[in-house]
């Protein structure tokens, strides 16, 4: 962490992996941080031009993935909690809610050098328990190479590992998961149909299309090093978001004939209702909300395990030819372990 208070940040090295809950150094995007006021921080991040997951898209023109920004905001929230709020490094985190808005898609175009991101974080609220801070609300603004690109509000809380284990054991016991049932991993859809170049990053299989809806299996591949940077006891939020995005991409093609090459995730509103368990089959059910108009298409998507809702989202995709216009709508999520 930078010891200075004048807001000057460096991009020479990444922050320690433990402070952003990552195992692989290549998955750490933050490089520095400084407290510039009692309730305000500056955080630096380098955006990779090439990444096995975040740059594996066929969309043109090439831009930094909106879900990469979500990961940078996630890391920023965790790092701020550990560094500025004294959250213990071995505590477990849950993201309760958040809202992301891409304010300038043109600022996300990938240039000749890795993007230097600066995140200004304002402490909007704190949660206390027995006089100790156990939760945080942050309002964050991210700029790339000096140009504002996105904003996000994150609300997260943390707890000791023992409390986490009790919570998870209670939740899993209510589902009668023993004996474990294998998660289905049907034949994945062609990568191009969900806007991906690599089949390793496809998370959908077994697509069934109706008149105004689509249903697809979610492939939970714990061997994917980007989606599963370290062992987890639940389906991670990054995979849930990818399931929503790919389901929307697939539906746009199957129901409206729109090519994933010309679509960019522009808006998502989502709620996480409970943990996704590895033992249960997972599906995305997609319904049309808004037919293609003014360059966008919208879907309502439910992610279910044995017809029990674990997350839901409204997803908007925008034609890349209309990227010049600012996006006014936010992405939000709640209740997922970090």
What would the pLDDT profile of 84-103 be if each residue is shown by its tens digit?
A: 999 999 999 998 877 878 88
What is the fold, at CATH topology level, of the domain defined by 17-164? Thiol Ester Dehydrase; Chain A (3.10.129)
Return d(Cα 49, Cα 90) in angstroms, integer. Answer: 31
Average of per-residue pLDDT across 325-331? 41
| Cα 314 to Cα 94, 155, 194, distances in angstroms | 21, 20, 17
Please check the confidence at residue 337 and state whether its pLDDT lies above 90: no
Task: Count other Cβ atoms within 10 Å, centred on residue 109.
Answer: 15
Please check the confidence at residue 240 and state whether its pLDDT lies above 70: yes
Give the three-class secondary structure for 261. Answer: helix
The pLDDT value recorded for residue 7 is: 57
The pLDDT value recorded for residue 325 is: 40
On average, the pLDDT of the chain sits at: 89
Percent of the chain at pLDDT > 90 equals: 69
Please check the confidence at residue 228 and state whether its pLDDT lies above 90: yes
Return d(Cα 175, Cα 273) in angstroms, integer. Answer: 14
Give 180's pLDDT tier (boundaries 50, 70, 90).
Answer: low
The pLDDT value recorded for residue 95 is: 85
Read off the pTM. Answer: 0.89
- Tell me the domain boundaries of the chain: 17-164, 176-337
Tell me the helices (H) and strands (E) count for the chain, helix number first.
3, 14
The domains spanning 17-164 and 176-337 adopt the same CATH topology: yes
Please check the confidence at residue 142 and state whether its pLDDT lies above 80: yes
Give 161's pLDDT tier (boundaries 50, 70, 90).
Answer: very high
- The string of pLDDT tens digits covering residues 261-320 is 999 888 888 888 889 999 899 999 999 998 998 888 999 999 999 889 999 898 989 888
Give 237's pLDDT tier (boundaries 50, 70, 90).
Answer: confident
What is the fold, at CATH topology level, of the domain defined by 176-337? Thiol Ester Dehydrase; Chain A (3.10.129)
Return d(Cα 335, Cα 64) in angstroms, integer. Answer: 25
């Amino acid at each position: 962490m930078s010891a200075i208070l004048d807001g000057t940040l460096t991009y020479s090295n990444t922050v320690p992996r433990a402070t952003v809950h990552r195992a692989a150094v290549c998955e750490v995007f933050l490089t520095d941080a400084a407290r510039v006021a009692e309730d305000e921080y500056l955080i630096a991040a380098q955006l990779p031009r090439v990444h096995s997951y975040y740059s594996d898209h066929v969309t043109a023109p090439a831009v930094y993935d909106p879900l990469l920004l979500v990961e940078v905001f996630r890391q920023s929230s965790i790092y701020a909690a550990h560094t500025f709020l004294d959250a213990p490094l071995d505590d477990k985190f849950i993201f309760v809610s958040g809202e992301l808005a891409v304010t300038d898609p043109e600022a996300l175009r990938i240039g000749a050098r890795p993007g230097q991101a600066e995140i200004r974080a304002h402490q909007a609220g704190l949660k206390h328990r027995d006089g100790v801070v156990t939760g945080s609300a942050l309002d964050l603004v991210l700029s790339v190479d000096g140009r504002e690109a996105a904003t996000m509000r994150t609300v997260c809380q943390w707890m000791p590992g023992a409390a986490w284990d009790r919570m998870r054991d209670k939740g899993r016991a209510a589902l009668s998961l023993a004996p474990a049932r294998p998660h289905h991993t049907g034949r994945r859809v062609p990568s191009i149909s969900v806007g991906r170049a690599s089949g390793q990053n496809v998370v959908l299989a077994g697509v069934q299309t109706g008149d105004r809806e689509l249903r697809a299996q979610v492939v939970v591949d714990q061997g994917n090093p980007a989606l599963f940077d370290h062992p987890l006891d639940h389906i991670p939020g990054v995979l849930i978001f990818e399931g929503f995005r790919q389901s929307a991409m697939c539906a746009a093609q199957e129901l409206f004939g729109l090519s994933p090459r010309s679509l960019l995730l522009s808006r998502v509103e989502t709620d996480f209702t409970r943990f996704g368990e590895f033992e249960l089959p997972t599906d995305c059910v997609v319904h049309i909300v808004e037919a293609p108009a003014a360059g966008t298409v919208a879907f309502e998507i439910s992610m279910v395990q044995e017809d029990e809702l674990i997350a839901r989202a409204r997803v908007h995709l925008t034609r890349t030819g209309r990227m010049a216009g600012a996006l006014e709508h936010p992405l939000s999520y709640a209740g997922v372990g970090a």
